[in-house]
Amino acid sequence: MGTLGSVVVALTQLGQAQFVPAAATTVSVSNPSLETDANNDKVPDCWQTQGSGRSASSYTWSTAGHTGSHAEQLTTTRYKSGQRGLFVQMGTSGCGPAVTAGHTYALDGWYSTGGQARITAFYRDASGTWVRWSAGPTLPTATTWAQAEYVTPAVPAGATGLSFGIELSSNGTLTTDDYSMSDLGGPTASPTSSPTSTPTSSPSSSPTSSPTSSPTSSPTSSPTSAPTTSTPSPTPAPGGCSGFCVQVSGNRLVDSSGATVQLRGANRSGTQYACSEGWGIFDGPKDDASLNAMLTWHIDAVRVSLNDACWLGINGVPSAYGGANYQAAIKDYVSRITAKGMYVILDLHFANPGSTLQPDQVPMADRDHANAFWAGVASTFKSNPAVVFDLFNEPYPDSNRNTTAAWTCVRDGGTCPGVNYAAAGSQEMLNAIRGTGSTNVVMVGGPQYAGTVSQWTTYKPNDPANQLAASIHIYYNSPSSPDWSPCYLQSCWDSTMAPLATTTPIVIGEFGEHDCSYGLIGGTSMPTQQQDLLSWADAHGVSYLGWSWFTGNCAGEPALISDYTGTPTTYGAGVRSHYLKF
């Protein structure tokens, strides 16, 4: 596009005032129509793929262009969190347009998608670091080409460059083309208008989705044990915790009086990715009002996802969001949750092997950092017995299979099939925790994204404190294809979970339904009806926490709420109704 005669204004997430000046100046964007890909890597020259969270995604340099011969097509499947997209190349290549501090910019692109998409911008600060900055509202879905337009807030002082693109935060296919950027200069106040897109006839057939496979694995090798280390001296099993606390007694979680504790809670996502993306620590409010909203559901536990690089302040995490600042924020949040009478589960959600940040979940915790992470977390929270530790969110070694090699890797770490770095096993991470003197309850998951407990007893780590609980995650897809995790059928609960529950506390650390409904969890929408998952769990003393207390696109990521006052989605309404029985 050339100079804009007018600008369609979209509200920013930051709630900034919007401005429409009388004139705008076109800013040059390299390869704006995505027509060249000199190295044939399926990513246009001067552009890069960018993303975070957990999903399976693939990029294609498509021939279904809006104009010209090409466009970029992104397909995301098995979406759980985060976002993916094509962005103007960052770094020092010269591809990122220069910007003027204090100016606002109109960002344009053409797109087609049935998913949840939005324009997002990064800026380069004075030190050369790229910072995730501002994003527009969710764009309307479009089966033919539509134009997306977004006006940024004023560029911060010290910013020297800008990158932008359209990103997808759900399952689906997003095709983009013909980007442009205009400098709107200094602000002149003008009323805002609602975000819009302008559908147009497609010059070619509408983009179609092509499925992608699950994460691939590295060459298979035999698991090896962790380096020889001394096991911490046995910590005496607690004779009974005091105050607001939880501990293991036989096959139950109990409080200080010995009464059974059954956790019915929610996951709170964001603290695993915002820090490593460089734009914050929390995604959504963390204030007392948001915690009070949870209490209206009778929620008694909150699972908070952590990132080892953010906790340790390594691998390039900005200091504002990592190290001491991250630790202080998590410590404050945990303190306020427990002060309201809710238990907390802290899980290692994102691991970052080596010296780089990972945009996605990896198959195993890493020996580089996981043990130091858990030693630090345990030292911080060992005096708070209302805090539970979940060793690693969702292991999936050995190509996401339920094999002896996978179970051995989960326990022993080392060199494992499907893992291209030295893995940290549950035994060494537990040793790191117990080495601090902590006797907090520790949750241990199995392979297949913590989707099975079939061999949990055989491969559980040795705990001198006898304070272990088994972790499992159960998800559903849709009535026509309900399978999203291995143990979604009642026959699996009866054959693997029920026997384990007679000896060991079980926590369903995550459950959810990807069709925005509750019928699969409730059993009524299953091809063969079965008992409600949560009712079955109640009958067997199994705890459970829904994914997630988050206002994302329910179809892409199971979202319990539509706003942080606690208004439930359709899926969340089913969960809330069950929780309110207790």
Closest Cα to residue 309, out of 236, 382, 252, 359? 359
pLDDT at 96: 81
pLDDT at 123: 87
**Contact (Cβ atoms closer than 8 angstroms) between residue 340 and residue 295:** yes
Tokens (6 digits) for 521: 């969890």
pLDDT above 70: residue 524: yes
**Three-class SS state of 315:** coil
Contacts of 275 (CB under 8 A, 6+ apart): 281, 307, 310, 317, 318, 321, 322, 326
Mean pLDDT of the chain: 86
> SS3 string of 467-523?
CEEEEEEEEEEECCEEECCCCCCHHHHHHHHHHHHCCCCEEEEEEEECCCCCCCCCC
Q: What angle do CA 210, 212, 218 make, to 5 degrees?
A: 155
Percent of all residues in the chain with a pLDDT value above 90, rounded to a whole number: 69
Closest Cα to residue 461, out of 361, 365, 547? 365
Tokens (6 digits) for 38: 């000199």
**Contact (Cβ atoms closer than 8 angstroms) between residue 55 and residue 49:** no
Closest Cα to residue 195, out of 7, 14, 10? 10
pLDDT at 220: 37
pLDDT in tens, 135-182: 888 899 999 999 999 999 889 898 989 999 999 988 899 999 999 999
Whole-angstrom Cα distance, residue 398 to residue 411?
13
pLDDT in tens, 384-402: 999 999 999 999 999 999 9
pLDDT at 470: 98
pLDDT at 445: 98
Q: What are phi and psi of 375, to 5 degrees?
A: -60, -40
How would you classify the pairing of strands 71-77 and 56-62?
antiparallel
**Contact (Cβ atoms closer than 8 angstroms) between residue 112 and residue 142:** yes
Tell me which residue has tokens 């601090």: 436
Q: What is the dihedral of CA 77, 571, 548, 393, to 10 degrees?
A: -60
Tokens (6 digits) for 417: 């099939």
pLDDT above 70: residue 66: yes
Reported confidence tier of residue 128, pLDDT bands at 50, 70, 90: confident
CA 257 to chain centre: 36
Reported confidence tier of residue 132, pLDDT bands at 50, 70, 90: confident
pLDDT above 80: residue 301: yes
Tell me which residue has tokens 């892409």: 556
Domain 256-579 CATH superfamily: Glycosidases (3.20.20.80)
pLDDT in tens, 41-61: 888 999 998 876 666 788 898
Q: Where are the domains of the chain?
A: 25-187+195-199, 256-579
Q: What angle do CA 416, 79, 268 make, to 5 degrees?
A: 90
pLDDT at 575: 98
Whole-angstrom Cα distance, residue 290 to residue 283?
12
CATH topology of domain 25-187+195-199: Jelly Rolls (2.60.120)
**Contact (Cβ atoms closer than 8 angstroms) between residue 209 and residue 75:** yes
Q: Is the pTM of this model over 0.85?
A: no
